[in-house]
Copies of this chain bind each other. A is one copy, B any other.
Amino acid sequence: MKENSLLSDLAAYLFSNSSDNGRTPSERELAEHFTVSRGQIREALAILEAMRIVERRAKSGIYLTTTEASVEAMALFARAGVPLDPILIYETVELRKIHEIKAAELACNRATEENYRRLRDILAASEAKLAGGEGLAREDRDFHLEIVRATKNSVFYRVCSVYYVMGEHRLPIYFADSARSRRSHEEHIRIYEALLARDGNLAQALMSAHLQGAESYWKGLIGGPATAAG
């Protein structure tokens, strides 16, 4: 990992060391605790503030935000190597299903030749990787995001990108299993064909079934929706 560990360490520290009203230690104290300069602390705090994790009140102090932090914050932590709460992983998969099934439908109406070409390229690259016995983490991400891109809704794309930023560390593990990679790849092919036929219902159904695989995988790994629904 090359990532910013101060950021996640700081966030963790703030959560553990804040008073009842959410007030955290001062910048100077934090700097001393982490043996870094105040500038470093301020840079990290600026990010945490942008992520709505803390609020900095001039001449008063730093306070934990009561509202929910952004998804970006989750992505940021995931990138920094902080293990994500299993419940959050499950919730993310549920949300991903909602997004990508709808994306598949929209893509059927809006995909251009350019999108189809890129999808073909990605499938070809996947084939090559499979032949070489390599994992499909990158290709999987590219395939799914290309479909979202085909919706021609850039905000949609931005939102969905986050999932893959979050899963950067986990995806390679998922695709380490070559049988799973092969099956996933074949499902991708069928989805591509449905998109090409512009069959919205079929594309939705195939995407739903495809993501069901990932959902089952994570459920099996973490305990399922009973926990998440609590």
Contacts and interface: CB of A to CB of B under 8 A. Distances in A.
Interface of A: 39, 42-44, 46-47, 50-52, 67-72, 74-76, 87-88, 91-92, 94-95, 98-99, 102, 110, 152-159, 161-162, 165, 228-230
Contact of A158 (B46, B68, B99, B110): B68
The oligomer's copy count stands at 2
Given A47-B47, A88-B154, 20 more contacts: A39-B42, A43-B43, A43-B46, A44-B46, A46-B46, A50-B51, A50-B76, A52-B165, A68-B157, A70-B72, A71-B158, A71-B162, A91-B155, A91-B156, A94-B153, A94-B156, A95-B155, A95-B156, A110-B229, A153-B228
Contacts of A68: 154, 157-158, 161
Contact residues of A: prevailing secondary structure: helix
Contacts of A98: 98-99, 102
A208 to B, nearest CB: 13
Contacts of A47: 46-47, 50
B50 A155 contact: no
Nearest to A42: B43
Nearest to A43: B46
A129 to B, nearest CB: 21
A94 B102 CA distance: 11
Contacts of A102: 98
B155 A74 contact: yes
A121 B1 CA distance: 47
A74 B50 CA distance: 12
Contacts of A70: 72, 75, 158, 161-162
Nearest to A158: B71
A151 to B, nearest CB: 9
Contacts of A71: 71-72, 155, 158-159, 162
Nearest to A44: B46
Contacts of A99: 98
A12 B165 CA distance: 25
B159 A95 contact: yes
